[in-house]
Structures are given as C-alpha cells and as structure tokens.
C-alpha cells in the first residue's frame, strides 16, 4: 500500500478506475461524496429506493446475514503464531489471496468506484484510518455512516490509510479455483493491511471485518481491550456502563436509553483512560420496530440512513413487521441521529458491566450478580442463542457458546481478551451482572421473551446501584445471585423456577443447559484456574435436586 491520495492508494493495487487506460471502458472514481450525493447515485443506479421517512432502502440479495464459513485470514509468517486458528479463524494462503485480489481488481476496473475515508476509534490516541472502496454507492453510504467521520483538519492530512477494505458484492469467487467455500469470501490480510469482501451485498460483513481488524491491532499495539458491546453513561456523573452481547441480545436497544448518554451501540475499546466507541454509527435490527417501544431508534431512521431488506408498503412506508425477506432486517445511521448521543464517543472507566444473553431454554434469571471469577467464566463462555436471520441458516433460536460474546470477530486467543477484562474489572472495581433478554416461563415455543420494559427496569437498577438493596438468593445450579425484588418488575419472574408452570420441567431444562456449560468449558478452558471453573454452573446440582424432588435455590443473601 503506497500513496497519499485515494487514487494513488488504489493504484497500488492496480485499480485504475477514473484513469484513461487503453482499451478500458470510461469509469469514474468518487471519493468522500456527501450522503446526499451517494443517495442520488444509489437511486439512479437502481440500488435502492427512498422510503417515506427519507431512508434509502436496499436489498442485499441472496445473503441477508453474515456467512461465517466464508471468512478467512491470510496465513503469513508475521501473524501465524498470533492467530487462534480453528473453525472461526480459517487460514488461506497468500497465493490464493493474490489470485482472488487480481480477479477483483480486473472486475472493479470495469466499473465506477465509490471510496470512503474514515476512522475506527473515537479516541484519536487509538484510532486507525480506513479507506473503503465500494462497488455500490449504497454500500459506501452505509460505511460512511458507520465509521468515525474525520474532522475537516483530520481529512486534510488523512494521507496513507492504516488499512484498506475493498468491497465488490458483484464479484463471485470460484470455490474450486480459489480454495474458498462459496462464491462469497471475506479475506483479511494483516500483513498487507487489506480486507477483501466479495460475493455478498450484506454490509455487515464490511462492518465486522473492520471490527476484526481492530480486535487484532488494539491489544497487540495499544494494550487496549476491544469489546463487542454497547456503552452509555450517566449525563450527570458520567459513570459509564458497557453491555456485552451477540447480535439479537439487545445491545442497541438497551443502550439507546433517553435517560443516559449513548457512547455507541456495538463496538468499543477499553483503555487505561476509559471506554471509547470504535464506530461513528449504529447498525440496528429492525424486526418489529415501532415508535412506542423503541422511539430513539425508530426516529433515527431518516434521510442519510440505509435500511437493508426492509419491506415497503404501497406508500413506501417501512413495514418493520414484515420479515418476508429476512428476520435480520437492518438499518445503519450515524450515532448523531440518536438525540442523546454523546458526540465525543468516549466515557470513563466503566462502573458496571452487563453480559447480555438470549436464553432460548428460559432457565436463566432475568438478572443475576456475578463474582469476579464468575465474570471471567461467563466472558470466556459467552453463552447465548443465535436468533433468526443473523447468520445464514439460522431460522429459530439456536443455543451457542461464543467466547467473549463475539468470538467470530476475535482473531487472537480468547484468553488474551479475557485476561485484559479481568484486569480492567479489578482495577476499576467494576460490578458485573448477567442479564437474560431471552425466554422466561419456559423455553422457546413454550414460554415468552421477557418484556423489554422489565429488562429496562432491571438494567436501570443495576446501573444506579439500587438493585444491591434487594435481598438476593443464590442459585446453586447456575451459581449466581438473584435479586428477589426490583422496582418496576414483578417479583414472580425474577427466580425462574418459581415462574415455570412445571418445576420438574424447569429442573430438566436447567440440568441440560448447565451440562452444556460444563461440556463447553471442559472442552475449551479446562486449563483455567479451578476458582474460575467452580464459579460456573453445576449440572450435578440440578440432577440431584430433580432426583430428590426439592427446590434448586440455595441460601438467602442479605443486601
């Protein structure tokens, strides 16, 4: 990668869009167009249409979610011993990468190209400059809204980027020739500092590839913990909280709280000085969105926003209840579209950490308190249920364990991040809670998802510390402390076993999930200290209790 202008950087790859080249069609290179012009280009090119609320609505094609099996890291000597190779981080050779890159360059040289220059990291002490070259104007608009937008003076001295992303959704790989799994591929090359995203119009691949890059660079080069989390802070005290969670667990929804300042909704870094947003925008799920339950997100969808796979009615009004294309409908908008967004994108050292999980078994409590060892356990375990549409092939909630609540985006060994979190929590005297935003009163198909209003109330009491005034009981199966009361929440739902119609069926479901926890931990983390292992769930407790026919809640704890 060489050159300081966008055109010079692209020429370093052999991309000559906008240059007079013999026997090549006339093409145009568009650099850093404002949102209005990108919208005009997208509509003119038939990439999408304007909705009644002013947003640009596009369809991503066959792929409406991420394709984990199509993501690869180029295996080069400088990073070979640092990457946690496996099912998540698949290697691909430099030769195959170069072959695909050459094909993409030839393809793009026949087309106009839209380039966006932005930054990842609101804290300029830890930010990286990205150049993103897109085949589609709509994708360029989406990325422009999601990256941190440089100030005028920063753009004037932008120079050579730290990393480049090349997105060509219309280019299709040949799996047999290219050594990939399908026509789509996401290739991350840390040595060349390039990402290639091809064969998919789902822009979440571009967003998450940038996140993956930062998840490699920040711990190694900056001693900063990258986190798959949202973050907000109190407008008066500026006390900060972070919300970990995979897609569908409520990070965006719970962080868009009108009583707090929004730092960001998905990706953050935690340095010695505090938390900072890696992004400059939000990428929210739209399924079932309405103005009553989520007014901040609903009203953020206006001109400059990009909706993916949202169905429009005859009057071009978005129908967020219509999931006929996919349940993973999405919208991207700049964080400033949220009225209470904190423009600086930075907060203090977190006083509270919340792990959000969507439990499809319906046995985890709506909220529970974790010890330091239990926090370590649940961070490396990362239990949740993938919800429909977030990945190809997911049609109903599927229990899964994803280390760090973001394993698909973490190139390094999970213990690198886990040890950093443990140190940060200890140094900051941070309180940690596990929050179930999934099912209660029974598993998927029997119970129901906990009401958002109740989750909001529980989170609010955790943030202001008043939940600690409750009496707690210890759950011997899941090894957590459960509050027995919380203002704004019915007492009856707080202890899951009491809320199920059949305690015997609860015991069976709890045993099954606890056994899954133990099996996953033994398989991946048996080398961790015994104190961490013992802080997790214990399936044998559920089995013994079920056999003897008595309750599973152990000792009562004083506030």
Given this model, what pLDDT does residue 548 score? 42
Given this model, what pLDDT does residue 396 score? 64
Q: Where are the alpha helices (DSSP H) in 429-502?
A: 452-464, 496-499
Given this model, what pLDDT does residue 393 score? 62
Cα gap 261→240, rounded to integer Å: 9
Among residues 136, 170, 163, 159, the alpha carbon closest in space to that of 147 is found at 163
Instruction: Evaluate the CA torsion angle 45, 51, 56, 58 in order and state its sign.
Output: negative
Among residues 157, 169, 92, 102, the alpha carbon closest in space to that of 133 is found at 169
pLDDT digits (tens, 9 = 90+) for 65-95: 999 999 999 999 999 999 999 999 999 999 9
Given this model, what pLDDT does residue 549 score? 40
Given this model, what pLDDT does residue 257 score? 84
264 strand-pairing partners: 231
How many beta carbons lie within 10 A of that of residue 556, not counting itself? 10
Q: What angle do CA 127, 218, 215 make, to 5 degrees?
A: 105
Contact 231, 260 (CB under 8 A): no
For range 204-232, the mean pLDDT: 97
pLDDT of 554 strictly over 60: no
Q: What is the mean pLDDT of the chain?
A: 92
Cα gap 516→519, rounded to integer Å: 5
For range 357-383, the mean pLDDT: 95
- The per-residue b/e assignment along 452-488, b for 16 or more CB within 10 angstroms, e otherwise, is eebbbbbbbbbbeeebeebebbbbbbbbbbbbbebee
Given this model, what pLDDT does residue 546 score? 46
Cα gap 7→547, rounded to integer Å: 71
Among 1-5, 171-175, 249-253, 399-403, name the one with the lowest average pLDDT.
1-5
Band (26; pLDDT cuts 50, 70, 90): confident
pLDDT digits (tens, 9 = 90+) for 443-462: 988 999 999 999 999 999 99
Given this model, what pLDDT does residue 9 score? 96
Given this model, what pLDDT does residue 212 score? 97
Q: Enter the tokens of residue 277.
A: 């947003």
For range 434-441, the mean pLDDT: 96
Catalytic residue positions, numbered: 66, 208, 228, 247, 251-252, 266, 330
Cα gap 96→88, rounded to integer Å: 19
Determine the longest span between alpha carbons in the chain, in angstroms.
Answer: 83
For range 295-314, the mean pLDDT: 97
pLDDT of 397 strictly over 80: no
The model's pTM is 0.90
Given this model, what pLDDT does residue 451 score? 96
Q: Enter the tokens of residue 110.
A: 């026949």
What percentage of the chain exceeds 70 in pLDDT? 93
- CA–chain centroid gap for 325, Å, is 21
pLDDT of 143 strictly over 90: yes
At residue 25, the 3 state secondary structure works out as coil
Among residues 96, 485, 54, the alpha carbon closest in space to that of 304 is found at 54
Given this model, what pLDDT does residue 111 score? 96
Rg (CA), the chain: 24
Taking each helix axis as running N to C, give the angle between helix 137-146 and helix 204-217, from 0 to 180 degrees, rounded to the nearest 10: 40
Given this model, what pLDDT does residue 155 score? 95
Q: Is 23 exposed, middle or buried (0-12, 13-18, 19+ CB in 10 A)?
A: exposed
pLDDT of 120 strictly over 80: yes
Q: Enter the tokens of residue 174.
A: 């040949």
Given this model, what pLDDT does residue 547 score? 43
pLDDT digits (tens, 9 = 90+) for 322-354: 999 999 999 999 999 999 999 999 999 999 999
The phi and psi torsions of 402 (rounded to 5 degrees) equal -130, 105
Instruction: Evaluate the CA torsion angle 529, 534, 539, 543 in order and state its sign.
Output: positive
């Amino acid at each position: 990668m060489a050159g300081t202008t966008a055109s010079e950087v692209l020429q370093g790859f052999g991309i000559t869009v906008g240059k007079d080249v013999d026997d090549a069609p006339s093409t145009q290179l568009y650099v850093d167009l404002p949102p209005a012009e990108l919208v005009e280009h997208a509509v003119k090119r038939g990439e999408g249409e304007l909705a009644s609320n002013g947003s640009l609505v596009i369809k991503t094609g066959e792929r409406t979610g991420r394709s984990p099996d199509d993501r690869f890291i180029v295996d080069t000597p400088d990073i070979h011993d640092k990457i946690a190779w496996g099912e998540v981080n698949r290697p691909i050779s430099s030769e195959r990468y170069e072959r695909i890159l050459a094909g993409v360059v030839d393809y793009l040289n026949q087309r106009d190209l839209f380039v966006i220059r932005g930054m990842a990291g609101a804290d300029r002490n830890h930010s990286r400059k990205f150049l993103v070259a897109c085949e589609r104007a709509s994708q360029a608009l989406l990325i422009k809204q999601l990256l941190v937008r440089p100030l005028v003076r920063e753009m004037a001295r932008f120079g050579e980027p730290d990393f480049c992303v090349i997105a060509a959704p219309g280019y299709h790989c040949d799996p047999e020739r290219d050594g990939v799994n399908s026509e789509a591929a996401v290739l991350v090359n840390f040595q060349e500092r390039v990402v290639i995203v091809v064969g998919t119009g789902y822009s979440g691949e571009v967003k998450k590839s940038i996140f993956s890059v930062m998840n490699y660079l920040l711990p190694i080069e900056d001693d900063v913990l990258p986190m798959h989390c949202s973050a907000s802070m109190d407008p008066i005290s500026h006390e900060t909280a972070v919300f970990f969670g995979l897609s569908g667990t409520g990070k965006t929804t719970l962080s868009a709280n009108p009583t707090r300042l929004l730092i960001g909704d998905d990706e953050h870094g935690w340095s010695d000085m505090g938390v900072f947003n890696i992004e400059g925008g939000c990428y929210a799920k739209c399924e079932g969105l309405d103005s009553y339950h989520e007014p901040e997100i609903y009203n953020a969808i206006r001109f400059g926003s990009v909706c993916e796979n949202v169905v429009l009615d005859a009057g071009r009004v978005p129908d967020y209840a219509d999931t006929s294309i996919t349940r993973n409908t999405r919208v991207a908008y700049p964080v400033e579209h949220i009225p209470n967004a904190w423009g600086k994108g930075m907060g203090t050292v977190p006083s509270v950490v919340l792990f959000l999980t969507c439990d499809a078994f319906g046995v985890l409590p709506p909220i529970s308190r974790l010890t330091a060892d239990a926090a370590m356990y649940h961070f490396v375990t990362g239990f949740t249920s993938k919800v429909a549409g977030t990945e190809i092939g997911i049609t109903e909630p599927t229990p899964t364990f994803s280390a760090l609540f973001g394993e698909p985006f973490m190139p390094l060994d999970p213990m690198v991040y886990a040890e950093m979190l443990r140190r940060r929590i200890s140094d900051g005297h941070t309180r940690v809670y596990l929050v179930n935003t999934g099912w209660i009163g029974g598993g998927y198909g029997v119970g129901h998802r906990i009401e958002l209003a109740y989750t909001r109330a529980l989170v609010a009491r955790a943030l202001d510390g008043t939940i600690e005034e409750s009496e707690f009981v210890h759950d011997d199966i899941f090894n957590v402390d459960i509050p027995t009361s919380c203002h704004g929440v019915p007492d009856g739902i707080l202890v899951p076993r009491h809320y199920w119609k059949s305690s015997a069926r609860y015991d069976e479901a709890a045993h099954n999930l606890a056994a899954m926890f133990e099996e996953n931990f033994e398989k991946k983390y048996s080398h961790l200290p015994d104190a961490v292992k013992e802080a997790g769930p214990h399936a044998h407790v559920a089995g013994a209790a079920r056999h003897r026919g008595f309750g599973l809640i152990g000792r009562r704890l004083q506030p």
